[in-house]
């Protein structure tokens, strides 16, 4: 089993607060790895560090063994590490067709093409339409993202990430804020992710976590607390204590 | 599993419709070119509208499509103007089209070099830096008066006929045809650009830079590219001014010019390419009208228009042009065809 | 050379008084007010009118210019500016440029376009020698007055209730509002005060900077440099930036006359590339 993504003693300090405390995490290739923890545990900070949105105070980040710490966000995306955002970050004035089309054309290195009209390449269109279909966005293909229902926007958020053909996909609470009746679409999309993509999932909803993950890491106060298979973590009394707020013996 | 052919066709059609020439656009350019023959007595003001429209188009590229607020776009305009004027005066390049292209290249070079200044910092720092560059150039032009003619302006500029054949005259006949042709060609290129994947990525960077970088777009590289191109366009506009008036003075770099340009673009609306052209038409006629009323104090009314536009709300102003823009899309060739032929039962594209 | 230093300090302190209002407005309301120079010009012309036409003593005209500009600023804020606060920066820029154009043209209309001079009292004219340095009397006055103003400003901000309310509102206006601070009034009063300072600076500076209707346009860039280089989160930042700018400009024009204003613009561009948040700003909380 190869390690797709790894952090080595990752630390992030913000004027006195330690948001990430010596996190050494290993995610296996093709894994369905979930990251859970109470609010403020530093999960989103970790994702920001992994994707280059923030720079670590110390420590290393390795993608397939290569140190990517010095690379900017867009460079990391080119190498295959892609994320979704907990709060939708979409192009509000573009349509899903344009959004996915943009992601695909960027991935194919056609982003600097200033002469051809968008949509004139049929091979690109086929891929775009296929992605839109996979994420059930066919019926809203030509609507402005801003007016789409929240569930569709969330699906688009994941679709855009997939359009980048990631090696490692970081999902930041994909079902957050989605109304009950639209949740199953998100869950189905997440479950249907290609098996060769390594997925790190941040979630609060334990049903999703336990049905999806083959390995779980628990983050508390910025540090890795417990790690193991879903059964191990479910049975671990320290995890229950953290979530129920009981006092911790030094962890 | 391949998606059905019909889905692909619909998507292709929708994207193609996005870039298709709308009937109103065709009408616009037909009228513009027809004016060469139809309104010969207005050629002087039409010439000014043509290069001002090009200047505003160049600002639209960076403001409307890339979101960079510049208070010093006149820097490139002025550099182009002086370059063209000097090339003609010292007979280094005698043919105006060639001189104009060289002026454009010079402005592009300046744009490239200064583009790195606008990548970082807030809106305010960008404002400052762009303003600073224009002021530096103005100072330089002032100091090197022996070259630029200083505050009096560059005298003794003699522009040779365009392509060796079309002499510039006092009524602006050649001037208008020349400027309009240059504007049209550059407009075509810009239109291609904004409808391309590159253009789409610019809108993405402007709309949500965080998301853009999250799909692998390097915002810096894109912004440098569009800023450079826009600078070139502005330089060519300046060259057209210098060539049609056979004159260049310090005020090509002035703050007034950059500020007026903002107004021109905002009147027409930024972000759809025609805003600068429409704004130029409205501004020039407004300026013509106002300066006949109050020759000395018309900046007051310009200022009032600016204040009014902001207080009323830019969105409300552009919403007045939305019916025109919407009818432009509805009046697509498809719609026209449908009016006159029987529908084939195919799903209509937007 | 020390004369240059002296002149530069006078110039710098004058710039500080002029620009401090802008710094607070920018920091407080994140509002780019390019028309700040217009309020300075108002104070200057009011002083000219009071002293030259009405024979008001110079020292009396200064506080009157302050009050007049403050009132004008306050009124403008209540009626016009408050509508533009929440708009994007482009709109603020357009709006304030519009105000500048209007004020320049209006002043041209009412006051004529030629440069005017304040009739400063004779005991303030000329200079005297201290240890070989030519000390201009007027410039000395400027240094003293502006120095006092700076100390007073620092005192107000640090030690008074209004000052702490202001600092709270600058730091986080929502939280400040939640604490019961009437943020709107704080804004209006502060804006008015800043315009008053600008007016006072204009009145003081008319003699040195030259007064004509294009004043707001000529000096806009200077004020902007002070606030961008100095940052908006303190008094000391813009103060130091003003001194730097004042000394730099005077020294530049003296030692390298062919390049003149060049020097400042280049300093500004260099600083902004190196530290886009300004030389002295601490990291903003937003």
Name all domains of chain A by residue range, CATH numbers in brackets: 3-89+164-244 (3.40.50.300)
Per the document, the length of chain B is 350
The answer to whether residue C89 sits within a structural domain is: yes
Neighbours of chain C (3+ CB pairs under 8 A): B
> Between the CA of residue A244 and those of A202, A209, A237, A239, A248, what are the distances in Å?
19, 18, 10, 9, 11
Pairwise CA distance, residues B210 & B199, whole Å? 17
Q: Please name the residue of chain B whose CA is at the shortest distance from the CA of residue C213.
A: B297
What is the interface pTM, i.e. ipTM, of the complex?
Answer: 0.88
pTM of model > 0.90: no
Q: Which of C1, C40, C3 is nearest to C20 (CA)?
A: C40
The pLDDT of residue A64 is above 80: yes
Mutate to test the interface with B, among C30, C104, C276 (most CBs of B within 10 A): C276
Domain count, chain C: 1
Query: Using CB atoms and an 8 Å cut-off, which of residues 161-200 of chain A contact chain B?
Result: 163-164
The pLDDT of residue A135 is above 50: yes
Contact list, A105 vs chain B (CB under 8 Å): 197, 200
Q: Which of C20, C33, C1, C27 is nearest to C243 (CA)?
A: C20
Q: Which of C197, C220, C271 is nearest to C241 (CA)?
A: C271
Q: Which domain holds residue C41?
A: 2-213
Contact list, B195 vs chain A (CB under 8 Å): 117-118
Q: What is the mean pLDDT of residues A99-109?
A: 92
Contact list, B297 vs chain C (CB under 8 Å): 105, 108-109
Smallest CA–CA distance, residue C43 to chain B, in Å, is 20
Ordered DSSP codes for B33-46: HHHHHH-GGGHHHH
A90 touches chain B (CB under 8 A): yes
C93 touches chain B (CB under 8 A): yes
The answer to whether residue C149 sits within a structural domain is: yes
Q: Say which range, A53-57, A247-251, C127-131, has the weakest mean pLDDT.
A: A247-251
- Structure tokens given for B305: 């228009």
The answer to whether residue C275 sits within a structural domain is: no
The angle at the Cα of B171, spanning B167 to B177, to the nearest 5 degrees, equals 60
> Residues B251-302: pLDDT tens digits?
899 888 999 999 999 988 888 899 999 999 999 999 988 888 888 888 898 8
Q: Which residue has the tokens 């911790």?
A: A248
The beta strand positions in chain A, using DSSP E, are: 3-14, 17-28, 32-36, 58-63, 66-67, 81-83, 168-172, 198-202, 215-220, 223-228
> Residues B13-45: pLDDT tens digits?
888 888 888 888 999 999 999 999 999 889 999
> Residues B172-211: pLDDT tens digits?
889 999 999 999 999 999 999 999 999 999 999 998 999 9
The answer to whether residue C221 sits within a structural domain is: no
Pairwise CA distance, residues B284 & B49, whole Å? 6
Among the partner residues C94, C261, C273, nearest to B139 by beta-carbon distance: C261
User: Which residues contact residue C109 at a Cβ distance below 8 angstroms, ignoring those fewer than 6 apart?
Assistant: B296, B297, B300
Average pLDDT by stretches of 10, chain C with 286 residues: 83 90 79 90 91 86 92 92 85 92 92 83 75 75 85 80 72 74 81 90 87 89 84 80 86 76 78 69 42
User: Which residues contact residue B113 at a Cβ distance below 8 angstroms, ignoring those fewer than 6 apart?
Assistant: none
> Between the CA of residue C225 and those of A161, C29, C90, what are the distances in Å?
42, 18, 19
User: Which residues contact residue C123 at a Cβ distance below 8 angstroms, ignoring those fewer than 6 apart?
Assistant: C137
Q: What is the pLDDT of residue C276?
A: 67
- Structure tokens given for C269: 């561009």
């Amino acid at each position: 089993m190869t390690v797709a993504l790894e952090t080595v003693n990752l630390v992030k300090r913000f004027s006195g607060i330690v948001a990430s405390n010596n996190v050494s995490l290993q995610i296996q290739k093709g894994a369905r790895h979930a990251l859970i923890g109470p609010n403020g545990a530093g999960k989103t900070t970790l994702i920001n560090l992994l994707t280059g949105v923030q720079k670590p105070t110390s420590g290393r980040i390795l993608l397939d063994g290569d140190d990517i710490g010095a690379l900017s966000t867009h460079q990391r995306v080119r190498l295959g590490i892609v994320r979704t955002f907990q709060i939708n970050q979409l192009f509000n004035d573009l349509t899903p067709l344009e959004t996915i089309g943009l992601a695909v054309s960027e991935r194919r290195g056609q982003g600097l093409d200033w002469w051809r009209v968008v949509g004139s390449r049929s091979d690109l269109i086929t891929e775009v339409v296929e992605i839109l279909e996979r994420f059930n966005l066919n019926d809203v293909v030509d609507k402005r993202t801003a007016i789409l229902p929240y569930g569709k926007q969330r699906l688009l958020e994941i679709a855009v990430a997939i359009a980048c053909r990631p090696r490692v996909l970081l999902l930041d609470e994909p079902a957050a804020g989605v109304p009950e009746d639209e949740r199953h679409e998100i869950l189905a999309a997440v479950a249907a992710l290609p098996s060769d993509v390594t997925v790190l999932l941040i979630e609060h909803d334990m049903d999703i976590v336990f049905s999806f993950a083959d390995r779980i890491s628990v983050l508390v106060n910025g540090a890795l607390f417990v790690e193991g298979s879903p059964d191990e973590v479910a049975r671990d009394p320290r995890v229950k204590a953290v979530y129920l707020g009981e006092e911790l013996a030094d962890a | 599993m391949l998606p059905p052919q019909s889905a692909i066709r619909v998507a292709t059609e929708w994207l193609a419709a996005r870039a298709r020439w709308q009937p109103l656009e065709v009408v616009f350019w037909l009228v513009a070119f027809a004016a060469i023959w139809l309104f010969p007595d207005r050629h002087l003001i039409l010439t000014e509208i043509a290069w001002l429209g090009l200047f505003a188009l160049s600002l639209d590229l960076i403001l409307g499509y890339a979101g960079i607020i510049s208070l010093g776009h006149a820097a490139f305009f002025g550099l182009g103007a002086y370059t063209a004027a000097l090339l003609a005066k010292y007979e280094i390049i005698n043919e105006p089209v060639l001189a104009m292209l060289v002026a454009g290249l010079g402005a592009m070079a300046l744009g490239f070099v200064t583009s790195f200044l606008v990548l970082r910092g807030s809106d305010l720092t960008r404002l400052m830096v762009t303003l600073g560059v224009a002021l530096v150039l103005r100072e330089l032009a002032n100091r090197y008066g022996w070259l630029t003619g200083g505050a009096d302006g560059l005298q003794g500029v003699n522009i040779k006929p365009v392509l060796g054949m079309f002499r510039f005259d006092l009524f602006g006949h050649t001037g208008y045809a020349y400027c309009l042709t240059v504007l049209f060609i550059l407009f075509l290129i810009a239109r291609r650009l904004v409808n391309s994947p590159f253009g789409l990525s610019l809108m993405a960077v402007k709309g949500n830079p965080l998301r853009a970088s999250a799909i692998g777009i390097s915002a810096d590289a894109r912004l440098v590219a569009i800023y450079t191109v826009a600078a070139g366009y502005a330089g060519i506009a300046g060259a057209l001014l210098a060539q049609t008036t056979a004159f260049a003075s310090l005020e090509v770099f002035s703050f007034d010019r950059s500020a007026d340009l903002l107004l021109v673009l905002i009147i027409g609306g930024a972000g759809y390419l025609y805003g600068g052209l429409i704004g130029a038409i409205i501004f020039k006629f407004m300026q013509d009208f106002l300066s006949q009323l109050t020759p000395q104090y018309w900046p007051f009314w310009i200022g009032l228009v600016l204040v009014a536009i902001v207080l009323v709300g830019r969105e409300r102003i552009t919403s007045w042009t939305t019916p025109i823009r919407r009818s432009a899309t509805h009046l697509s060739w498809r719609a026209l065809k449908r009016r006159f032929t029987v529908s084939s039962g195919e799903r209509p594209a937007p | 050379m020390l004369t240059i230093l002296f002149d530069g300090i006078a110039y710098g302190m004058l710039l500080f008084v002029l620009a401090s209002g802008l710094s607070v407005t920018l920091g407080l309301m994140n509002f780019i007010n390019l028309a700040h120079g217009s309020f300075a010009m108002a104070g200057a012309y009011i002083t000219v009118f009071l002293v030259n036409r009405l024979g008001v003593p110079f020292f009396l005209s200064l506080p009157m210019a302050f009050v007049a500009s403050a009132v004008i600023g306050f009124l403008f804020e209540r009626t016009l500016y408050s509508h533009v606060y929440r708009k994007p920066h482009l709109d603020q820029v357009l709006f304030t440029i519009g105000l500048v154009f209007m004020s320049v043209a209006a002043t041209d209309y009412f006051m004529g376009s030629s440069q005017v001079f304040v009739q400063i009292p004779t005991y303030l004219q000329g200079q005297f020698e201290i240890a070989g340095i030519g000390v201009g009397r007027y410039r000395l006055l400027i240094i003293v007055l502006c120095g006092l103003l700076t100390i007073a400003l620092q005192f107000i901000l640090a030690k008074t209730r209004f000052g702490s309310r202001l600092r709270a509102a600058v730091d986080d206006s929502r939280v400040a509002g939640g604490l019961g601070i009437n943020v709107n009034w704080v804004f209006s009063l502060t804006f008015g005060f800043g315009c008053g300072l600008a007016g006072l600076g204009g009145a003081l500076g008319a003699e040195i900077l030259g007064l004509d209707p294009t004043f707001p346009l000529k000096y806009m860039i200077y004020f902007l440099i002070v606030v961008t280089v100095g940052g908006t989160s303190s008094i000391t930042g813009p103060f130091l930036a003003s001194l730097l700018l004042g000394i730099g400009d005077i020294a530049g024009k003296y030692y390298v006359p062919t390049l003149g204003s060049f020097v400042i613009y280049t300093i500004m561009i260099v600083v902004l590339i190196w530290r886009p948040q300004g030389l002295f700003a601490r990291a903003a909380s937003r």
